Structure 1
Amino acid sequence: MMAIWDFVKDAGKSVFGKAEAAEAKAPAAAPAQAPAAAKPAQDPETTRKVAALKAELKALNLDKDDVHLTLRGGDTVKIESKGADRETLEKLVLAVGNIEGIAKVEADLPSDDKAPVFHTVKKGETLSEIAKAYLGSASKYNAIFEANRPMLSDPDRIYPGQTLRIPQA
């Protein structure tokens, strides 16, 4: 079943940059290699944004061969992957959703009757406080940190509006 998650559109990592800067640096487009019966061509801005999203997934080592991204309406991303397990799909949702300019992410998680638990960081919150609220002990902050790798590189570097994956026992 396809699920949709909301994210804070104006918070997150900036990966899109300015369209004008990207166009100035981009080499001339090569002729399309897809057959005429393929999907309709995306506008250049959508193509640029999808490429930036894929580059971010590659930087996080989440860019498996079967991951397909579709950008709709400029701020909604649909993630499709046949081979990813539930944990990887949840990380893909967060990696894409925590990018500035993305408001919604759609994905089809394997059905095991357990909805993922996500938490949107509020101003002043720490991983320890979040761990106490969800896992019963502040000392379990590292479990949340590990569940959000590689998107998090330091447990002290979270920001308001960021969405985190909460591991379930």
Structure 2
Amino acid sequence: MSIVSFLKEAGEKLFGGKDAQAATPAAPTAADVAGLNTKAGQAIQKYVADQGLSAKNLEITYDGATSAVTVRGEAPDQATREKIVLCCGNVQSVAQVHDEMTVAKAAEPAGTFRTVKSGDTLSKIAKEAYGDANAYMKIFEANKPMLKHPDKIYPGQVLRIPPS
């Protein structure tokens, strides 16, 4: 198991919109909190599925008190595992992901994670990671489908940096 930290204020806005605010009572009960945590976990699980990522027995839970997601299941490979963890963490209001996933085919080496800072580009990150700014497409490809365009990264986002 590993714990990956994320910037809580950055990421996809999956919950907390008008519908969620209207449904939240002034003094929530334990049942209300449990229900909101369940809905948040389901929203994150849907987001992962919408990215075309899946794992055997995938289970994603959210704890609003700690801003933490726990993800379990068996990913088909290491890259998919890392992408699922990134999907879970690159969501606004998530500060950390407890990765309890396993990998069916563990032959490939693990990548690393890097938090985007102000002024970063994929080329700059590739230069730091590989010594070659032109290797930015390797990082872009490793973060698909979460990244739609190589120029669309933002501070606080966590990216997967595949091994060289």
Which portions of structure 1, spanning 4 or more consecutive aligned residues, are displaced by more than 3 angstroms?
22-25, 108-112
* Counterparts in 2 of 1:80 and 1:95: CA distance versus 1, 3 Å: same
* TM-score (normalizing by structure 2): 0.83
Match of 1:157 among 152, 160, 164: 152
Is the contact made by 1:80 and 1:107 (CA closer than 8 Å) also made in structure 2? yes
Is the contact made by 2:56 and 2:74 (CA closer than 8 Å) also made in structure 1? no
The 2-side partners of 1:12 and 1:88 are apart by 19
Matched residue, 1:4: 3
Q: Which one has a bigger Cα radius of gyration?
A: 1
SS in 2 for 1:81: strand
- Paired letter, 1:103: A
Is the contact made by 2:110 and 2:163 (CA closer than 8 Å) also made in structure 1? no
SS in 1 for 2:97: strand
The 1-side partners of 2:8 and 2:61 are apart by 17
Q: How far apart are residue 71 of structure 1 and its match? A: 1.6
Unmatched tracts of structure 1, length 5 or more: 26-39
For these two proteins, the number of residue pairs brought into alignment is 153
Q: How far apart are residue 106 of structure 1 and its match? A: 1.1
Deviation sequence 1:40-84 (CA, Å, 0-9, x none): 997111111011111211210114452111223351111111243
Deviation sequence 1:109-157 (CA, Å, 0-9, x none): 5577x65311100001100000000011000000000000010010000
Alignment of 1:77-156 (within 5 A): 77-108=69-100, 109-110=102-103, 116-156=111-151
**Identity value in percent:** 39
The 1-side partners of 2:45 and 2:16 are apart by 14
- Paired letter, 1:102: V
Matched residue, 1:33: none
- Paired letter, 1:107: D
* TM-score (normalizing by structure 1): 0.80
Per residue, is there more strand in 1 or in 2?
2
Alignment of 1:34-53 (within 5 A): 43-53=34-44
Is the contact made by 2:55 and 2:74 (CA closer than 8 Å) also made in structure 1? no
The 2-side partners of 1:84 and 1:74 are apart by 29
Is the contact made by 1:66 and 1:83 (CA closer than 8 Å) also made in structure 2? no
Unmatched tracts of structure 2, length 5 or more: 24-30
The 2-side partners of 1:63 and 1:115 are apart by 18
Is the contact made by 1:15 and 1:99 (CA closer than 8 Å) also made in structure 2? yes
SS in 2 for 1:80: strand
